[in-house]
């Protein structure tokens, strides 16, 4: 009886191993079938995804092309940057970004879990989408810099006007010093008193103008 029991146990172990092996083959078959079904579904969706991405790429290229004149103006003539150009380019960028982001998510989700040729084809779409995103990133940086420069132009103009005003005040102040600098001995004491008062007033005016200009510039720097 012990011998028979031992043989029975060994036989059951062998059967168990065979069952495990068979189960592994069944699971493998199920996975192959699942992979095939996923690949088949992805193949059906690939054409739509490729067409959708092609349309998005056109929008991205449009935004990039619209940003090019802004980039040139930044290098050559920042004052020529117009508000309408910036707004139109921002709108083109918004439209492209709004369509590219969900398209990238769709391609990524469809490629997940795939194997073989269809996975490579979807990875190619992903690479194209990433290239389009890089174009939009460059355009976004150009727009941000253009906006900053456009906002700075009137500020710089006002600052230059302030500086010009200070120069006028300083010139007037120097004119009041002329009789003393050349040693004019023909001026009377009354004239000398008037000139001294004029010098003091000119110096005070110059100080006020300079202080106001510095406050203006410092305020704009903070903004």
* pLDDT, position 8: 57
- Answer whether residue 132 shows pLDDT above 80: yes
Task: Output Rg (C-alpha) for the chain, integer angstroms.
Answer: 40
Cα 39 from Cα 23, distance rounded (Å): 24
Q: Which positions ≥6 away from 133 have C-beta within 8 Å?
A: 60, 100, 104
For the whole model, what pTM was predicted? 0.57
pLDDT in tens, 93-129: 999 999 999 999 988 888 777 677 878 888 899 999 9
Residue 66 has pLDDT above 90, yes or no: yes
Q: In the chain, what is the straight-line distance between the N-terminal and C-terminal CA atoms, in Å?
A: 98
Reported as a pLDDT band with limits 50, 70 and 90, residue 135 is very high
Q: Which of 136, 125, 123 is nearest to 48 (CA)?
A: 125
- Asked if residue 81 lies in contact with residue 149, where contact means CB atoms within 8 angstroms, the answer is yes
């Amino acid at each position: 009886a012990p011998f028979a029991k031992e043989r029975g146990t060994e036989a059951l172990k062998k059967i168990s191993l065979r069952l495990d092996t068979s189960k592994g083959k069944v699971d493998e078959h199920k996975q192959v079938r699942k992979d095939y079904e996923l690949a088949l579904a992805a193949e059906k969706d690939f054409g739509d995804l490729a067409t959708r991405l092609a349309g998005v790429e056109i929008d991205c290229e449009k935004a990039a092309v619209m940003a090019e004149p802004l980039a040139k103006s930044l290098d050559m003539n920042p004052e020529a940057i117009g508000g309408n150009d910036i707004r139109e380019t921002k709108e083109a960028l918004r439209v492209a970004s709004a369509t590219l982001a969900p398209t990238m998510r769709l391609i990524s989700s469809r490629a997940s879990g795939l194997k073989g040729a269809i996975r490579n084809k979807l990875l190619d779409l992903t690479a194209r989408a990433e290239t389009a995103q890089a174009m939009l990133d460059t355009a976004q940086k150009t727009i941000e810099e253009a906006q900053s420069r456009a906002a700075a132009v009137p500020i710089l103009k006002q600052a230059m006007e302030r500086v010009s005003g200070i120069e006028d005040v300083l010139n007037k102040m120097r004119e009041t010093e002329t009789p003393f600098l050349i040693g004019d001995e023909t001026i009377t004491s009354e004239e000398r008193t008037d000139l001294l008062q004029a010098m003091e007033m000119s110096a005070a005016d110059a100080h006020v103008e300079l202080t106001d200009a510095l406050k203006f510039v410092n305020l704009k720097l903070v903004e």
